[in-house]
Amino acid sequence: MWVAALAHETMYGYVTNTGKFHDNNALRNDFYMDFPLTYEEIGSADARRLIDNTIAPFDEEEYDDLLAEWRADPEALDPGEVLSMVADFSTDLGLFHRRGGRGDPPRGCTGACTVPHGCS
């Protein structure tokens, strides 16, 4: 499960382990291409509820390399920034809730990887 924000064709996914939104090209590709995953447009209140109470963290051992990359991300966005952008209707931005299990594709997945998360 993800809370994702689409801003000017860039998709940001919220990562509980860092407490921030990170550019997530795999989510963007999934959103724009015909994959059998479900996205549901949500508002700021629902996004905040999911961020605060629902989104599970990634396993620190299984995703250690990916989490290290996200923790070093100098362009990560605070949830408050993202939710404020959504409140400004003049921006090209949407908040989405992606329903799916922990098998979500990691950032940058091209679909040619061997990680069992269903991106291919």
Query: Inter-axis angle of helices 79-87 and 44-53, to 10 degrees?
Result: 160
Segment (H or E) for 56? none
Maximum CA pair distance of the chain?
41
Tens of pLDDT, residue by residue, the chain (120 residues): 788 888 777 888 999 999 999 999 888 888 888 666 678 888 888 888 889 988 889 999 999 999 999 999 999 999 998 888 776 654 444 556 555 544 444 444 444 333 333 333
Q: What is the pLDDT of residue 72?
A: 97
Structure tokens at 100: 């799916």
Q: Rg (Cα) of the chain, in Å, rounded?
A: 13
Q: What is the pLDDT of residue 55?
A: 86
Segment (H or E) for 94? strand 93-99
Q: What is the pLDDT of residues 54-81, one digit of tens each?
A: 888 999 999 999 999 999 999 999 999 8
Could you tell me the residue ranges of all domains in the chain?
A: 2-99
Q: What is the pLDDT of residue 36?
A: 61
- Please state, in angstroms and rounded to a whole number, the distance separating the CA atoms of residues 108 and 29: 9
Q: Are 100 and 38 in contact (CB under 8 A)?
A: yes
